[in-house]
Structure 1
Amino acid sequence: MSEKDHRPLLLANALLTDPASRTQSRGGLLIAWGVIAEIGAAVTPASAGPDVEVVDCGGQVVAPGLIDMRAVTGEPGAEHRETLATASQAAAAGGVTTIVCTPETHPPIDDPAVVDFVLRRARDTAIVRIHAMAALTKGLKGQEMTEIGLLSEAGALAFTDGARSIMNARVLRRTMTYARDFDALVIHHTQDSDLAGEGVMNEGEFASRLGLPGIPVEAEAILLERDMRLVALTGARYHAATVTCRASLDILRRARAAGIAVTASTSINHVTLNENDVAGFRTFCKVSPPLRHEDDRIALVQAIKDGVVDAIVSDHNPQDVETKRQPFAESADGAIGLETMLAAGLRLVHDGSLDLVTLLRALSTRPAEILRLPGGRLEKGAPADIIVFDPDVPFVLDAARLKSRCRNSPFDGARLQGQVSRTIVGGSTVHQI
């Protein structure tokens, strides 16, 4: 680290927004040696020493960096879609200071050597913090569980089969039991592949009008209900990867009322878009699980407000032209989202659905708590993973200007508000405009 990196940084004249304590106040924040040294109204340019770099934030929001619990990064094996370096650049531009990548690589992250490769590669090439999730089952095939203990020792932060659900309840029970013994977090995608069948969008009237096969919400609800029973049976730490419908929210409420300690997230796409956005057969809006009815979207937003849904993820999944510029039914699932997650989420703030603190809590504090990471808070001694942004700056998204290697954004051409002016990781500025 250079002397410049060691130089203290004071973010003055800021709207300090701490989702951990649910507070907002005017003041300043002093960063030194990679942590928050001082914070509050008394932190001003006048209080700074001669060696402190002072940045006048002009009343912009200063908040903890976002923590994205679910992103496909491609490397190793699919570098044409995304690398750890390009994913980190997109993340920094969008205010994401920590990425947790899924094991859907080639080879999958199901061996300690692959975990080690990803973490070393991230340290060498990425400008934000990157953690790896390891596979729950070998080869992501849902048949034989991985060596959870060895993978944990290698640095795996959590365990998931990505966008694949483990259909064999006996395999999942054994995996949960084994994970419990290592206090490992199980993150599971809940979609019954048999019930989903050949469906490509949400089942209902709109799918019928488009002539596309649908996926019923029951495909999600049935598997989530099964998982709740397995969690009660095993006592495992469990997180539902992407809940998308009212039926799933009812299941989560009942489970928690019964004393089952589970957490859940949804994707930024499912709280800001609905099934109508696939009109015109827009393949950039083809995701898994599919975009749901507007009533489900509204229910998800309310569930975030109520704390039933803990976190919002980008579900960043880069797909190249060959896999997306296809007839809707044949195109690959997935949308990029690291760079647009905050701006898209601010739609909910601007329309009055959520307040800013609640949104940031779902994007930073709760992911940090679930993953047992030290970020997600503005307090003395906390890691200096900080973002500065103006929530009101309007822009039209030009996907060609995004830093991700692929361009499959569902918000291409959309009018958004909210621009990150500075992203700080460990006290060092990694993005600035």
Structure 2
Amino acid sequence: MSKRHSSARLRARPALRSASRSGAFVCAALGLFLCLRASPARAEAGDEEARQGLALAKAGQCVEALPLLEEAEAARHRPSTALVLADCYVNTGELLQAGVLYHMVADEKPTRAHSAADRAAIKAAVRKAREVDARIPTITFLVPSEYEGVEITLNGDPLERTDEPRKVSPDVTIKVVMRAKGRKERAEELFLAEGERRVIDVKLAPRGQESDKPSSISPKSEPRLWLGAGYRGYVVPRFVMNIFGDGGRTVAVPGGAATLTRTSGAFDYAFSLGYGAYFLGPTPFKPSGTPDTEYEIVESDLHALEATFEVRYNVMLDRSRRWRLRIGGGVGVGFTFLGGLYRTQAFPATLTPGDPYTYAKCRGPNDPAGSYRYCNQLDKDADHYDGYADKSWFDRGARPLVYPWVALPEIGISFHPSPRVAIDLDVATSLSGLMTSLGVRFGL
């Protein structure tokens, strides 16, 4: 090897060593960067509690999830965690706390710092805040303008504004104390249901006089469970029968019902067991589109039981809450447990087709003589003589055995002469006809 080549190689060695050191540094830096990217981010305060709480809430275990979610929210606020915390408050009946959280989340403005879950929570909170507000009961106090130094407390907590509705917890006893300068103190215990909007007239007697009678119904004496009974009947118009055939007549079906009603806010949920007497006197009837010879005299002495479930929404019509408009509907099932549907072939007395309401019962085939076109044994009604008792729907007959009961819409008026007594008048269109009911309920 020449000296010239040897000196060139010697000069190149420091450069190679320098390049190696630079490459090693770049590789080390790149490796460190990739390692940092691959390693999990350091957990922030409340993350572990939030993870556990969200998992429990998703599994429907809100009682166990609440302390974890509260701890996570106290450590670091996140809309996605706060929303689930509010959902658990609703699940456990803490509607006031849920409402505060929903509104707090709903009022936030989405930013880049928010995750996709946080943005979705902010959007959902707007709807949920509105829904829970409808469930939270309120009390409104009407204070006469001439009263001075008015002070109203709820469970010892003074109201800052007496002219605005105050949200309160449902289904808990609330002690209300009302005071005014120169007037007697008045105290009441209230018990509000979900969605209830209570209005109280603040009427305080001057000192030395008897207290005015409160105009509002005391919630403590307005129970949530009611037992009632009354008339429930139907009118089946002739035109309804004519939907299925010719002939028929308007029929009144008397009956009654016993009810068990549960109130929740503005809604009534009623379970009823009713009775109906579906009696029909001798009436001509035949299927639509069939000849005059198909007329039969139809009679009924059916007794039916009806089990129903009805939901009604109450609209207060006056400040004292005595008059209420009820709107709703119901479903159920009926069962004819006694009696029958009787069919007998019919013929015109003159043997000339005419008014079917003048037709008479056939005594048998061609009996009376000359009635063969009407009284015969040529069709499915061959044995319809002597008050033939028809078979049930389940045996290819016309007698109803089990039938659906549907009433919609159902509209009525409820009058509360006293806190524990209600008189209800309702009307509804139903599959059984035009329903009317008049009953009385007593609070339990």
State the TM-score, normalized to the length of structure 1.
0.21
**Structure with the bigger percentage of helix:** 1
Of Structure 1 and Structure 2, the greater strand share is in 2
